[in-house]
Amino acid sequence: MTTQSSTPLVTLKLLNKEYGQFTAVNHINLEIEKGEFLTFLGSSGSGKSTTLSMIAGFETPTSGEILLHNNSLIHVPSHKRGIGMVFQHYSLFPHMNVRDNIGFPLDIRKVPKPERDKKVDEILKLVQLSDFADRRPNMLSGGQKQRVAIARALVYEPEILLMDEPLGALDKKLREDLQDELRQIHRRLGITIIYVTHDQDEAMRLSERIAIFKDGEIVGLGSGTELYNTPPNAFVASFLGNSNFLKVRIKSESQAQFEQQLLTLGTQSHRIPDQTDVLLMIRPENIYVLPKEQAAQEPLAADMNEILATVEETVFLGESYTCTLVTQSGQRLMGKAVAREHTDVTAGSEVCVRWSTQHSCVYEQWSEQDIMKAS
């Protein structure tokens, strides 16, 4: 881990890209530390690839700055940036075998043959393709082709590896295997990886930090845990994982009650004015559903909230079960629990829904669009 005082490896400053009237990347600021695995996550068209292409040097920014070790990259041609790149489509040379495909970047850099062969052998081992070195790409599976592409990008030891949806064309199982391999490669080489995906599971699995893209802007930045547990806004809460949103109005007759309300809404950090409509977010797994009779016997702890609801449906999913609830004001909530707990909650029954104030987030500003499931 780098210390806070060190210069970031890559700095994006007010990076902007316009296509005619259309803003694809909107004044992004971002610092990327040496050795980190950072993922750009966002739905299609949110500006991830455009940002990556500007870092790679395939696209020229309309304005803004890209710094590598504090030096501007804007006028440095792509091949002199020390950056490796892997795309979804393998772009391997069909007439060359695996060994020569991987060796190609060294050949154009005129690396002497013994050194070239040694490096290619090492990297073949790293991506577990030593036994396939003499095959042509058309004799490889999709996963193997993508490993060749990764090896080819790594062989000249770039400082940064950029990957744009590299596993997008592979099926789920293979994708997960390659995700594990990528994590290992990252650990072993200590290389800086900037990765693009629209798949949140993939982003969570791979990355140390995730930058969430929306309409050309970064609207969330942090570890998967941070973004999931304390999303900075309703969009991120909705985008990442499952979430319940409750629209509530802060009401208070007296100051004392007002303070109490702030507490029950889980927001001690700042004051929300009286009569404000706020959005409360609670993850399904943080919702406790109790049959009314049981709730009567379990007093509400000081840091818990409680509302009444009716169970609409319960769905058993093996390791867990989910429960759709409708509150008295007609808002729908989803609860999720480990299957061996709460087995006596049935459709149609009236229940108490409880959650800890520590598990709720409050947003004062949001739009309906933010909380519609985007992906």
Binders of Mg ion among residues 32 to 51 (CB under 5 A) are: 49
Does the footprint of ligand ADP cover residue 46 (CB under 6 A)? Answer: yes
Binds ligand ADP (CB under 6 A): choice among 49, 207, 233, 244: 49
**Which residue lies nearer to Mg ion by CB, 126 or 150?**
150
* C-alpha distance from residue 155 to each of 14, 65, 122, 168, 196 (Å): 32, 28, 9, 22, 21
Task: Tokens 């030593």: give the residue.
Answer: 130
Write the burial class of residue 305 (CB in 10 Å: 0-12 exposed, 13-18 middle, 19+ buried).
buried
Which of ligand ADP, Mg ion, none sits in contact with 373, Cβ below 5 to 8 A by type?
none
Only one of the segments 40-48, 87-95, 139-147, 151-159 lies at the binding site for ligand ADP (rule: CB under 6 A); that segment is: 40-48
Name the binder of 79 from ligand ADP, Mg ion, none, CB < 5-8 A by kind: none
Should residue 19 be labelled a site residue for ligand ADP when binding is judged by CB under 6 A? yes
Q: What angle do CA 55, 61, 63 make, to 5 degrees?
A: 125
* Closer CB to ligand ADP, 24 or 211, in the complex: 24
Query: Is the CB of residue 227 less than 8 Å from the CB of residue 210?
Result: yes
State in angstroms the smallest separation of the CB of 118 from Mg ion. Answer: 35
Nearest Cα neighbor of 29 from 163, 193, 216 is: 216
Q: Which of the choices Mg ion, ligand ADP, none does residue 19 contact, using the CB cut-off of 5 to 8 A by kind?
A: ligand ADP
Answer with the entry of ligand ADP, Mg ion, none that 253 interacts with (C-beta below 5 to 8 A by kind).
none
Q: Which residues within the stretch 196-235 sit at the binding site for ligand ADP (CB under 6 A)?
A: 213
Q: Which of ligand ADP, Mg ion, none sits in contact with 50, Cβ below 5 to 8 A by type?
A: ligand ADP
Tell how strand 10-19 and strand 22-32 pair up: antiparallel
Name the helix (H) or strand (E) containing 16.
strand 10-19
42 is a site residue for ligand ADP (CB under 6 A):
yes
Q: Which is nearer to ligand ADP, 50 or 244 (CB)?
A: 50
Segment contacting ligand ADP by CB under 6 A, of 45-53, 86-94, 309-317, 334-342: 45-53
258, 219, 254: which is closest to 365 by C-alpha?
219
Number of residues that bind ligand ADP (CB under 6 A): 12
In the structure encoding, which two tokens stand for residue 162, read together? 């950029």
Binding test (CB under 6 A) with ligand ADP, winner from 45, 180, 347, 358: 45
Closest by CA to 50, choosing from 12, 92, 91, is: 12
The answer to whether residue 357 forms part of the interface with ligand ADP (CB under 6 A) is: no
17 within 8 A of 59, measured Cβ to Cβ:
yes
Map the footprint of ligand ADP across residues 246-305, applying CB under 6 A.
none
Closest separation between CB of residue 350 and ligand ADP, Å?
A: 45
Residues 116 and 128: their CA atoms lie apart, in Å, by 18
Tally of CB atoms within 10 A around 71: 9
Closest CA to 187 of 244, 265, 126, 273: 126
For ligand ADP, the closer of residues 28 and 127 by Cβ is 28
Given the rule CB under 6 A, which residues bind ligand ADP? 19, 22, 24, 42, 44-50, 213
Given the rule CB under 5 A, which residues bind Mg ion? 49
